């Protein structure tokens, strides 16, 4: 690995003392920043063998409160954005708005040609500065709905681990910041260098699937579906059976048409979509806790065939049953 990275350093060395071939990265820590996400760019880019200069900055140089109750010390203020080639904004607590001087500095950096990057809820800083307007973007799945509501001009993808929209790149939650930084490294210096760094930090060079595989979906929510909860509980105990809307309706003592209407109005989805999601969730549980072959797992979940299981599983989680088991198998 060191030989490979040494070649990158040699190739990037300035030919004259006046040239600045090193790529300058400014990590902008907003108040109540998530400290783990601050560390990710430093862990990946701040290496002697790589041609990056990484600096921590804030609205003003000095202490910055973190979500964890302790402080970081930022050696630079917003002036660091004036010369940065890449600006990275980690997640922070107060996401509804940002100070105007911060928004202005972000806009100025982007207008100057800097690559603008966010990790997790850091997307709200870019959004509030107007840098995501008309673009596709992502954030942590728990915040995706809020980002879409507050900024309808943004095409929010709640499933992507990261979205590369050219000069603006956004990512999902904490570990997706690693995915994103490795992606940037791959862009800058190729797959071999990115893979070498991934091995060094014991991370996957590329992860399969999207955020959907990590979302916890409560299959029954009694506070929202109180009238239907007994029927949903009944169905959850019989997922392996060939259930129909008529079966649901009979248990709920309604006509099929009335049941379907009430179900959609109460849950926001159709009975069959709910049923398929519940079956996939059952498959997820079995994949996490057993070595049962896929062809035996499908009938237990009510999805019939391995092909049907794979189709529904990918539709709900964005990945395959095999890849999901490899990621989430408890004893591995």
- Domain stops at, among 207, 227, 243: 207
How far CA 4 is from CA of 10, 11, 82, 205, 313, in Å, comes to 10, 11, 31, 16, 39
User: Are 267 and 305 in the same domain?
Assistant: yes
Domain check: are 308 and 188 in the same one? Answer: no
SS3 313: helix
* Same-domain status, 234 and 176: no
Nearest to 165 by CA among 183, 189, 145, 146: 183
pLDDT at 194: 83
Number of independent structural domains in the chain: 2
Asked if residue 62 and residue 95 are part of one domain, the reply reads: yes
Question: How far apart, in whole angstroms, are the C-alpha atoms of residue 2 and residue 26?
Answer: 25
Residues 317, 226, single domain; the answer is yes
The closest alpha carbon to 300, from 311, 316, 287, belongs to 287
CA distance 113 to 115: 7
| CA distance linking residue 309 with residue 314, whole number of Å | 8
Residue-level pLDDT at 225? 42
> Are residues 32 and 122 part of one domain?
yes
Transcribe 253-280 into DSSP letters.
TS-HHHHHHHHHHHHSS-HHHHHHHHHH
Whether residues 233 and 164 fall in one domain = no
- The whole-angstrom separation of Cα 167 and Cα 301 is 44
Give dist(CA 54, CA 86) in Å, integer: 9
Are residues 88 and 26 part of one domain? Answer: yes
- Residues 314, 173 share a domain: no
Dihedral angle computed from the Cα positions of residues 4, 180, 331 and 318, in that order, rounded to the nearest 10 degrees: -130
Q: Do both 137 and 22 map to the same domain?
A: yes
**CATH number for the domain harbouring residue 147:** 3.40.50.880
Are 225 and 186 part of one and the same domain? no
Question: pLDDT tens for residues 72-130?
Answer: 999 999 999 999 999 999 999 989 889 999 999 999 999 999 999 999 999 999 999 99
Residue 72 CA to residue 324 CA, distance in Å, equals 36
Q: In a 10 Å sphere around its CB, with 0-12 CB exposed, 13-18 middle and 19+ buried, how is residue 39 labelled?
A: middle
Residue ranges with strand state E in 77-139: 86-89, 115-118, 136-137
**pLDDT tens digits, residue range 27-84?**
999 999 999 999 999 999 999 999 999 999 999 999 999 999 999 999 999 999 999 9
Asked if residue 140 lies in contact with residue 121, where contact means CB atoms within 8 angstroms, the answer is yes
Q: Among 207, 234, 261, where does a domain finish?
A: 207
The CATH number of the domain where 259 resides is what? 1.10.10.60
Domain boundary among 207, 232, 248: 207
* pLDDT tens-place string over residues 138-197: 998 889 899 999 999 999 988 788 888 889 999 988 888 988 998 899 889 887 788 788
pLDDT digits (tens, 9 = 90+) for 221-280: 434 445 788 888 888 888 889 999 999 999 999 999 999 988 888 777 889 888 888 888
pLDDT band at 288 (very low <50, low <70, confident <90, very high): confident
Rounded distance between C-alpha atoms, residue 155 and residue 300, angstroms = 38
Expressed as residue numbers, the domain containing 189 is: 2-207
Q: What's the rounded Cα separation, in Å, for the pair 1 and 9?
A: 12
User: Does residue 322 contact residue 283 with C-beta atoms inside 8 Å?
Assistant: no
Contact 111, 124 (CB under 8 A): no
Same domain, 183 and 271: no
Pick left, alpha or beta for residue 130 (phi over 0 → left; psi -120 to 50 → alpha; otherwise beta).
left
């Amino acid at each position: 690995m060191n030989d490979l990275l040494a070649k990158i350093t040699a190739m990037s060395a300035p030919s004259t003392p006046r040239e600045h071939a090193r790529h300058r990265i400014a990590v902008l820590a907003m108040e109540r920043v998530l400290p783990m996400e601050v560390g990710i760019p430093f862990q990946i880019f701040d290496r002697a063998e790589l041609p990056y200069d990484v600096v921590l900055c804030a609205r003003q140089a000095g202490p910055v409160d973190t979500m964890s109750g302790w402080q970081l010390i930022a050696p630079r203020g917003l002036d660091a954005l004036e010369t940065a080639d890449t600006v990275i904004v980690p997640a922070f607590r107060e996401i509804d708005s940002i100070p105007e001087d911060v928004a202005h500095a972000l806009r100025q950096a982007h207008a100057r040609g800097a690559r603008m990057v966010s990790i997790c809820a850091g997307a709200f800083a870019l959004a509030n500065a107007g840098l995501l307007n008309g673009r596709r973007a992502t954030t942590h799945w728990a915040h995706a709905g809020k980002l879409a509501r507050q900024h309808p001009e943004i095409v929010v993808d709640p499933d992507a681990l990261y979205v590369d929209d050219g000069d603006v790149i956004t990512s999902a939650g904490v570990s997706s910041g690693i995915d994103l930084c490795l992606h940037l490294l791959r862009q800058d210096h190729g797959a071999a260098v990115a893979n070498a760094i991934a091995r060094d930090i014991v991370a996957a060079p590329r992860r399969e699937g999207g955020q959907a595989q990590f979302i916890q979906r409560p299959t029954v929510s009694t506070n929202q579906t109180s009238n239907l909860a007994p029927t949903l509980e009944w169905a959850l105990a019989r997922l392996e059976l060939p259930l129909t809307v008529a079966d649901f309706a009979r248990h709920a003592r309604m006509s099929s048409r009335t049941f379907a209407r009430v179900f959609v109005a109460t849950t926001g989805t159709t009975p069959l979509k709910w049923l398929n999601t519940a079956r996939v969730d059952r498959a997820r549980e079995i994949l996490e806790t057993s070595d049962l072959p896929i062809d035996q797992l499908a009938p237990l979940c009510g999805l019939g065939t391995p092909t049907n299981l794979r189709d529904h599983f990918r539709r709900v989680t964005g990945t395959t049953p095999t890849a999901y088991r490899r990621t989430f198998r408890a004893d591995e």
